[in-house]
């Protein structure tokens, strides 16, 4: 194993790989505890994307937020989360994943506290932005630590399966938890509950991860970081506002400005000696196609979860508690499917599992689109959510493996930031564009009627079928031959060739 690999582990504050290329073995109990800590950190971040969905009507009434502004509760978080992910991932490579994780957790906790005590919409929006910034610092650092902490055998397979289960199920659990806390206690608890979790993770990281001072040498590409972050922030802002009010001139100009800055970033990165993002990484077809797969999968999940929650409440008359509880069996199935994804890949291969996952997602979306306006949420929503959830659970970890195949250890933080960015941007952009479809179709019916609303959501669901189709196309376009991750997922017979 190369010196760069050792330095990558050390800069993260993790055990250095041994001569045989595997990570230095940690006591089994310590390894499980570290994984639990990192998964808990990821759980908090993804949870806070979805937890506000069923609580927004209550938040709007309590703080007196206007109908045109309430979506900023979600937009402010997605804006800073998606906008700073790649930069934060690169900083994790440069300065150490442990440092970035700890600083991000503190920032996230402060943002959560601000949300929990907010007395106005403006304070809530700003605090959600601080939360998103902390999340952007934590997510790639935590994933990089998982990628280099558990060797290349069954231990890493189980670790990544657990990470996939937590990541793919968190959005659904967010709907469940948001409904329960909002109905039975207060919407403020959906934010304040993060404080003890964040403190627990901070203490555990300080105790379990050694404080290594080494980091990668080289200058920080501040120009590249600034261009990338500004471009991503403008792009996410445009996507979010398109979902709220359509493609107004200011929205189009904001999106165009974001694309221009990203183009300038690409031009600059090709000419600096130590770029923020080594563009050669995208010549790896696994990385480029894997990020598109992550983009489309996350977009489908975000749209389906949000639309299903709104259909239950706005069309079928469910309470926030009933809507939240409906997600309980879905969350359980997603977790089980994700934990079994390693065995499925070992038996069928990465590509086949991703194709099965895309097919399940498509079937689930079709079933949800068939919900009648006078239907029952248990009979008409749950079956579609269950089948869609199984697809999401099966596909999350294999998509992540594809997107990091062939990436050197010294760039794992960057690769983790890229795939996390693809997921966040995919979720925000897809939800925003599909919401435009929902609003336009619903506006063409009888104003405010359940049938008009359901027509809009039906159109949104059917349009969302583009996303699993895109996943399937990218999977079929992957290079022939076995993808690198299956050896990490060996839990039974050798994996089939893809």
Has residue 177 got a pLDDT over 60? yes
Has residue 418 got a pLDDT over 90? no
CA nearest 496: which of 476, 482, 478, 484?
Answer: 482
3-state SS assignment for residue 17: strand
Terminal Cα-to-Cα distance of the chain (whole angstroms): 27
Burial class (CB in 10 A: 0-12, 13-18, 19+), 407: buried
Beta bridge partners of 17: 23
* Rounded Cα–Cα distance for residues 398 and 341 (Å): 8
Under 8 Å between Cβ of 104 and 143: no
Has residue 1 got a pLDDT over 50? no
Sign of the dihedral through C-alpha 66, 72, 74, 77: negative
Has residue 191 got a pLDDT over 50? yes
* Rounded Cα–Cα distance for residues 377 and 113 (Å): 34
- The region of weakest confidence among 51-55, 346-350, 378-382, 432-436 is 51-55
CA nearest 105: which of 9, 207, 210, 197?
Answer: 197
Q: What is the pLDDT of residue 210?
A: 63
Q: Residue 190 is encoded by which pair of tokens?
A: 């959906």
Buried b (16+ CB within 10 A) or exposed e, 123-156: ebbbbbbbbbbbbbbbbbbbbbbbbbbbbbeebb
Q: Residue 332 is encoded by which pair of tokens?
A: 């359980």
* Rounded Cα–Cα distance for residues 85 and 138 (Å): 9
3-state SS assignment for residue 153: coil
Q: 218 in the Ramachandran plot: left (φ > 0), alpha (ψ -120 to 50) or beta?
A: left
* Rounded Cα–Cα distance for residues 41 and 202 (Å): 9
* Rounded Cα–Cα distance for residues 3 and 334 (Å): 39
Compute the C-alpha angle 83/466/441, nearest 5°.
90
User: What DSSP line would sit under 121-136, residue for residue?
Assistant: HHHHHHHHHHHHHHHH
Q: What is the pLDDT of residue 24?
A: 37
- Average pLDDT over the chain, rounded to an integer: 77
Q: What is the pLDDT of residue 470?
A: 96
Which pLDDT band holds residue 260 (cuts at 50, 70, 90)?
Answer: very high
Q: Which residues contact 168 (CB under 8 A, 6 or more apart)?
A: 301, 334, 338, 392, 393, 395, 396, 397
Under 8 Å between Cβ of 469 and 321: no
pTM for the model: 0.71
Q: Phi and psi dihedrals of 23, rounded to 5?
A: -70, 145
Q: Which of residues 244 and 313 earns the better pLDDT score?
A: 313
Under 8 Å between Cβ of 65 and 223: no
pLDDT in tens, 195-221: 988 898 888 888 876 654 444 445 566
Cα-Cα-Cα-Cα dihedral of 369, 373, 379, 384, to 10°? 10
CA nearest 441: which of 418, 425, 457?
Answer: 457
Q: Residue 303 is encoded by which pair of tokens?
A: 């749209």
Under 8 Å between Cβ of 242 and 436: yes
Q: Which residues contact 333 (CB under 8 A, 6 or more apart)?
A: 386, 389, 390, 393
- The region of weakest confidence among 107-111, 249-253, 311-315, 448-452 is 448-452
Q: Residue 247 is encoded by which pair of tokens?
A: 């493609």
3-state SS assignment for residue 23: strand
Q: Residue 233 is encoded by which pair of tokens?
A: 């922030």
pLDDT in tens, 465-486: 999 999 999 999 988 765 544 4
Which pLDDT band holds residue 12 (cuts at 50, 70, 90)?
Answer: very low
Compute the C-alpha angle 372/377/380, nearest 5°.
55
pLDDT in tens, 41-96: 888 877 776 677 677 778 888 898 876 577 778 778 877 887 777 778 777 777 78
* Rounded Cα–Cα distance for residues 366 and 492 (Å): 34
Burial class (CB in 10 A: 0-12, 13-18, 19+), 29: exposed
Which pLDDT band holds residue 110 (cuts at 50, 70, 90)?
Answer: very high
Compute the C-alpha angle 485/348/409, nearest 5°.
5
User: Chain-centre distance of CA 270, in angstroms?
Assistant: 28
* Rounded Cα–Cα distance for residues 359 and 62 (Å): 42
Which pLDDT band holds residue 22 (cuts at 50, 70, 90)?
Answer: very low
Considering the four listed CATH numbers 3.40.640.10, 3.30.420.10, 3.40.50.300, 1.20.1250.20, the one that applies to the domain covering 30-212+221-486 is 1.20.1250.20
Under 8 Å between Cβ of 291 and 418: yes
């Amino acid at each position: 194993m190369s010196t760069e690999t050792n330095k990558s582990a050390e800069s993260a504050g993790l055990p250095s790989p041994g001569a045989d290329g595997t990570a230095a073995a940690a006591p089994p109990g310590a390894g499980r505890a570290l994984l639990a800590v990192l998964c808990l950190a990821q759980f908090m971040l993804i949870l806070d994307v979805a937890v506000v969905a069923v609580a927004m009507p209550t938040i709007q009434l309590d703080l007196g937020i206007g109908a045109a502004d309430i979506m900023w509760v979600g937009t402010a978080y997605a804006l800073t989360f998606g906008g700073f992910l790649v930069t934060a991932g690169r900083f994790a490579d440069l300065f150490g994943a442990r440092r970035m994780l700890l600083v991000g957790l503190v920032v996230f906790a402060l943002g959560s506290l601000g949300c929990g005590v907010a007395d106005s919409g403006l304070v809530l929006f700003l605090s959600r932005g601080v939360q998103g910034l902390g999340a952007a610092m934590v997510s790639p650092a935590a994933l990089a630590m998982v990628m280099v902490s558990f060797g290349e055998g069954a231990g890493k397979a189980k670790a990544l399966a657990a990470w996939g289960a937590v990541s793919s199920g968190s959005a659904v659990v967010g709907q469940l938890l948001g409904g329960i806390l909002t109905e039975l206690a207060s919407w403020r608890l959906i934010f304040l509950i993060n404080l003890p979790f964040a403190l627990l993770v901070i203490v555990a990281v300080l105790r379990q991860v050694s404080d290594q001072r080494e980091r990668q040498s080289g200058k920080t590409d501040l120009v590249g970081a600034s261009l990338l972050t500004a471009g991503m922030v403008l792009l996410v802002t445009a996507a979010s506002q398109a979902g709220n009010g359509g493609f107004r001139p200011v929205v189009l100009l904001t999106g165009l400005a974001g694309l221009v800055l990203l183009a300038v970033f690409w031009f600059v990165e090709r000419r600096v000696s130590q770029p923020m993002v080594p563009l050669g990484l995208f010549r790896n077809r696994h990385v480029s196609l894997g990020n598109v797969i992550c983009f489309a999968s996350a977009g489908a999940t975000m749209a389906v979860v949000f639309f299903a929650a709104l259909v239950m409440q706005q069309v079928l008359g469910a309470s926030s508690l009933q809507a939240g509880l409906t997600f309980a069996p879905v969350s359980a199935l997603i977790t089980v499917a994700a934990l079994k994804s390693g065995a499925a890949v070992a038996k069928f291969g990465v590509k086949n599992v991703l194709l099965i996952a895309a097919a399940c997602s498509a079937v689930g979306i079709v079933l949800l689109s068939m919900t009648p306006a006078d239907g029952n949420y248990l009979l008409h929503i749950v079956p579609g959510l269950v089948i869609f959830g199984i697809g999401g659970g099966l596909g999350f970890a294999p998509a992540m493996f594809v997107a990091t195949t062939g990436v050197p250890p010294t760039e794992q933080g960057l690769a983790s930031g890229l795939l996390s960015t693809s997921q966040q941007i995919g979720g925000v952009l897809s939800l925003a564009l599909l919401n435009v479809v929902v609003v336009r179709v619903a506006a063409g019916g009888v104003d405010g009627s359940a049938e008009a609303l359901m027509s809009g959501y039906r159109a949104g669901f059917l349009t969302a079928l583009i996303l699993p189709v895109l996943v399937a196309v990218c999977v079929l376009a992957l290079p022939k031959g076995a993808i690198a991750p299956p050896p990490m997922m060996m839990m039974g017979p050798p994996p089939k060739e893809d």
